[in-house]
Amino acid sequence: MSELTPDQLAALYDFPADADRRPWVRTMFVATLDGAAADASGRSGSLGGDADTAVFHVARSLADVVLVGAGTARAEGYGPASFDADAAERRARHHRDPGLPIAVVSRRLDVPEALLVPGTLVVTTADAPQRERDRLAERVDVLAHGEGQVHWRRVLADLAERGLRRVQCEGGPSLHGELVGADLVDELCLTVAPVLTGGDAPRIAHGGEAADRPMTLAHCVPAGDVLLTRWLRAR
């Protein structure tokens, strides 16, 4: 891992040409050797160490929008995305907008206060409480599609109309499970952490009916004892 510069990582994790023409959904996860998507404290951010952190930040610098569930945003302490000078230059070189909007998914509309800033998007259902939707709409853009559950194809079409085609989903497992169920995951970037945890932590995707989505290995890079993998949907 020490031999890979940020630009080399960017070459490994750049979005494909397809993303210029249609929404492309990349999901980013870290899991333990026994399949846990979180450590004993219930968080995932520290599992993959420096290697996973480097990949996470480089991948963000290539995305148009981050998609994250409200629960994950709270647990991981999300705030507005920011970039250092190198990452900002990389975004410019790859023709990305300077800012990276965060799209927070919440049916109950309980969005962390730190994310209620201009540029944030809130993804919810059309039958979410109207009063709360109106309150949020005074501060952020609200994308309401589907009744009872989010209609993800409409959400992705809405994002694409805003020029946000390169979608980086950062969890959590329930959101990931919905996208897998709808067969909308084009790519999974999975870091395998060298630890066994046991317990009852969730997998990286759960909920809904079981699915069968074959994937193709794009790369597998050892970084010390951590394994960085990237998988593409076989379509």
Residue 1 — pLDDT band, cuts 50, 70, 90?
very low
Within-domain flag for 59: yes
Q: Helical H runs in the chain?
A: 6-13, 49-60, 70-75, 85-93, 130-137, 152-161, 173-181
- Once rounded to an integer, what is the mean pLDDT over residues 71-83? 94
Write down the pLDDT at residue 49: 86
Verdict on whether the full-model pTM lies above 0.85: yes
For the sheet with 141-144, list strands across it: 141-144, 121-124, 102-105, 65-69, 166-169, 24-32, 187-193, 226-233, 215-223
Q: Supply the DSSP symbol for 107.
A: S
Within-domain flag for 118: yes
Length of the chain in terms of residues written: 235
- Once rounded to an integer, what is the mean pLDDT over residues 147-160? 97
* Structural domain count of the chain: 1
Within-domain flag for 188: yes
Range of the domain at 105: 6-14+21-233
Within-domain flag for 45: yes
Q: Is the pLDDT of residue 135 over 80?
A: yes
Write down the pLDDT at residue 208: 75
CATH code, domain carrying 54: 3.40.430.10
b/e per residue, 146-172, with b = 16+ CB within 10 A? beeebbbeebbebbbeeebbbbbbbbb
Q: Mean of the per-residue pLDDT values for the chain?
A: 93
- Once rounded to an integer, what is the mean pLDDT over residues 21-34? 96
Q: Are 69 and 112 spatial neighbours (Cβ–Cβ below 8 Å)?
A: no
Chain segment 160-197, per-residue pLDDT in tens: 999 999 999 998 999 999 999 999 999 999 999 999 98
Q: Is the pLDDT of residue 102 over 80?
A: yes
Gap between the Cα atoms of 103 and 27, Å rounded: 14
**Distances in whole angstroms, Cα of residue 214 to Cα of each of 12, 92, 205:** 21, 34, 15
- Once rounded to an integer, what is the mean pLDDT over residues 21-29? 97
Within-domain flag for 182: yes
Within-domain flag for 1: no
